[in-house]
Structure 1
Amino acid sequence: MDEQDNQGVVVLFEDEDEEDGAGDVVVDPESDGDADADIAATGGPLDDGATADAAATPTPTAIGRVKRPKPSAASDEEADGLLDAPDAVREIHTAKRMKRERDAAAAAAAEAPLTVDRVDAFYVQRAVGACYDDARDVEQRTSRALALMGSPIDLADLENALMELFEYEHFELVRKLCVHRDVLVWGTRLAQAPLAEKPAVLEA
């Protein structure tokens, strides 16, 4: 009997029990149950100052391996963006250079002398339409502006009349109409005249 007590009791587990308990965590009966449960759940003892960030730590599996989060598609795209950064920078510089060239070309065209052959029947109407939205209003203001420009009033009176017509706004439009007064008037008349009457317009 003493020999059996020294050897202890042998417990046999069936295969089914072994399979069911394959993922169980062995707890030392002499240790504190709550502390061991915390260790099994978080991979280590919890401090008093632990916060919800502990939930984001990798979780150990039953055999001691740690599950790492898989890289997301967003992180892959960010990595690709960093790799492609030099090309993106070049594209930005190219776009800026092309814009500067277009602006320079537009400025050069604006400074170029306006000739009759560049004026069509709706040249002045387009210029007025760039400042107003209502089509009927644009048509009326265009007709009135052309009438003022074609009248015998002097340049100072023309400028005052156009400023009043455009409600003392759009100073650049008024300046353009005054500077190119004759070209715009005769170019518009020539473009609007029927083909048979164009020679008479040129002789006027």
Structure 2
Amino acid sequence: MKKLLAGVAEFQQNVFPEHKALFGELANSQNPETLFITCSDSRIDPNLLTQSKPGDLFICRNAGNIIPPHSQSTGGMTASIEYAVAVLGVRQIVICGHTDCGAMKGALDLASLDDLPHVKEWLGHTRSAIEVVKAQHGSLDQSLLRRVTEENVLQQLQNLKTHPAVAAKVACGELTLHAWLYEIETGGVCCGNSDEHKEFQPI
């Protein structure tokens, strides 16, 4: 906690004053252009990665950057997506996975998660990615972690399209969707195509 409090003090004394005008503009409203959906993993920082400023990104995070398909039952991801698209009017959505993802490691070995029932149930949303990679490679193990991670981003992108607000904006050309993979070790970012399911390519 001391480290966090020291950081707050540093922000208030040295960072905030440099951006006082920006925070003044943001005090009563926001107008982000991008909904950025990524993993909860502590090693990925969307603002640092994209060098974006406060107010640029509307960020949603969860284990495995998962987007459950739209349903009648409300969840935090569904509500956040609806708000970002229908109210804030974001122009693009990025789903960003990352290398060495613990959620994807768990998805590859669900039996090991019996003592974590909620985690196991949540990772059930990765099943389509698991099945695609299994069908393509004839087997499944941790050596295919990156491939599963990539496919999971693509499958979550498909789930995103089931959300009515997203589908409507995409159909009208008012919203674009993007699949990213962040490489922790190199700082690189690769992008994928949900229609081709091929290896991600560096941006």
Shorter-normalised TM range: under 0.3
User: Whose strand proportion is higher, 1 or 2?
Assistant: 2
Larger radius of gyration: 1
User: Whose helix proportion is higher, 1 or 2?
Assistant: 1
Higher relative contact order (CA 8 A, sep 6+): 2
